[in-house]
Amino acid sequence: MSRLCPDVGPQPMDVQMTSSSDALLDLFEGLKYDGLPAFSDGPGKIFSMDLKDPRLKAVELRMSRNFDADSFNPHGISTFTDQSDDSVYLFVVNHPEQKSQVEIFKYIEEDHALVYLKSIKHALLNSVNDIVAVGPESFYATNDHYFNQKTLQHLEPWLGLSWCSLVLYTPQDVRVVSDGYTSANGINISPDKRHVYAMDILDHSVRVLERKEDNSLITLKSVAVGSLCDNIEVDQTTGDLWLGCHPNGWKLFLSDPQDPPGSEVIRIQNILSEHPKVSQVYADNGSVLIGSSVAAPYRGKLLIGSVYHNALCCDLRPTDLN
């Protein structure tokens, strides 16, 4: 059984579980990004959704007045919980005027509110696609392009350049920690925080990196996924990776409503083993969901976000629960 979530969309491109106990999920809509169709003239929004609520009702989060909401153009998101006081911080990749910066908010769950704390800009964060937070002001970020100029960015995939990178940002240290990506996209971290997973979307692979005490990253291997996989969600219990994917990149690029891009969800089990298991969990030709970009499991259900469409909630098959 599956159903679209009418309160969310179009373009809930990324989601983030914020609490395993109450299944609170953050997601956004309204991205305006070069090369993708825009579905709204207004600014972007952030929502929360309680997956335990059968209505799957999304609630828009209020932003504090000291934040420039009019230019808000959200892309990737991540959360960090400070174990010292249980404060939750929400990190959002923002593209005001097609530039790249990262916004940090304090998340007040009971008030459905985001308190703006700061914006982070840096020359190394030139084309940020996604982030994973590792501290109240620290994160790893993916750059999906090397060049800043749009014409050169469009040439990168055709030239086969592998110049994209992962960047570490902390208040004391900003540096490239992994490079050689054709286009670095989704990023996430293992439940024990010892491994980072980064998607090289044009290489059809997930790179597995070991995280050192100084936050440097060492590449261990790449796992082929056979699809243009976008964002990565990590099951906090099993450590499995769930990938929202684009099975046909050309259709995604053309965005023809008469022949829409399809959707695919891929799961990777035992990714740190010598023989990870890569399996397809969901697929359709675009008749149900157009352009899947992220997938988040929770207690027998799967929420799938999209580049073009509303979010879709599905019941997982018994074989996918093991």
DSSP labels for 103-166? EEEEEEGGGTEEEEEEEE--TT-SSEEEEEEEETTEEEEEES-S-SSHHHHHHHHHHT---EEE
Dihedral over Cα of 90, 96, 98, 101: its sign: negative
CB-based contacts of 60: which residues, under 8 Å, 6+ apart? 45, 46, 47, 112
Q: Any catalytic annotation for residue 75?
A: yes
CB-based contacts of 136: which residues, under 8 Å, 6+ apart? 80, 82, 87, 89, 104
Alpha-helix runs per DSSP H in the chain: 150-159, 249-254
Tell me the two tokens of residue 38: 């825009």
Query: Is 188 known as a binding-site position?
Result: no
Tell me the two tokens of residue 227: 């699809």
- Inter-residue long-range contacts of 189-197, CB under 8 Å, 24+ positions, other chains counted: 189/132, 189/134, 189/140, 189/234, 190/234, 190/239, 190/272, 191/234, 191/236, 191/237, 191/239, 193/134, 195/220, 195/272, 196/132, 196/140, 196/166, 197/232, 197/234, 197/241, 197/271
H or E element in which residue 15 lies: strand 15-19
Query: Is 77 known as a binding-site position?
Result: yes
Q: Which of 51, 55, 79, 59 is nearest to 299 (CA)?
A: 51
User: 167 with 127: CB under 8 angstroms?
Assistant: no
Q: Could you identify the residue written with the tokens 């157009």?
A: 290
What residues are designated binding site for Ca(2+)? 77, 129-130, 185, 230-231
What residues are designated binding site? 77, 129-130, 185, 230-231
- Which residues are tagged catalytic? 75
